[in-house]
Amino acid sequence: LYHLRRGDVTFEELLNSAATESGIYHDDLRRQWWNLQQYPELVAAYQKVVMSSEPVELEQKLAFKLQSLGLVQLHKQGAVPSCDLYRQYFSTYLG
């Protein structure tokens, strides 16, 4: 909102760059990517989640770790990305 108010970017530019290295969320996205890379088993599990259009069943331990990082929401049917921003950003790295 700060960037919009100052006129640095338009709303459309903000949305288009949100899931990129130049977007306003880049620090959070890089931190989450770094967190994932510390645990290769989480990378593999999260890859399944972001690449699927349906909820993905994961090993319980991995599902809870991804949930604790804020990367997934857990439903009866399985895990889904917690937000579309994460799906867009991580599909670039994990796709």
pLDDT above 70 as % of the chain: 99
Average pLDDT over residues 84-92: 94
Residue ranges of the domains in the chain?
Answer: 26-94
Residue 51: per-residue pLDDT: 96
* H or E element in which residue 68 lies: helix 60-68
88 pLDDT tier (thresholds 50, 70, 90) = very high
What is the b/e burial string over 35-61, where b = at least 16 CB atoms within 10 angstroms of the residue's CB? ebeeeeebeebbbebbeeeebbebeee
pLDDT of 83 > 80? The answer is: yes
Phi and psi for 25 in degrees, rounded to 5? -100, 10
DSSP 54: S
CATH architecture label of 26-94? Orthogonal Bundle (1.10)
- Give which of 3, 79, 5, 83 is closest to 46, Cα–Cα: 79
> By the 8 A CB rule, do 23 and 17 touch?
yes
- Tens digits of residue pLDDT in 23-63: 888 999 999 999 999 999 999 999 999 999 999 999 999 99
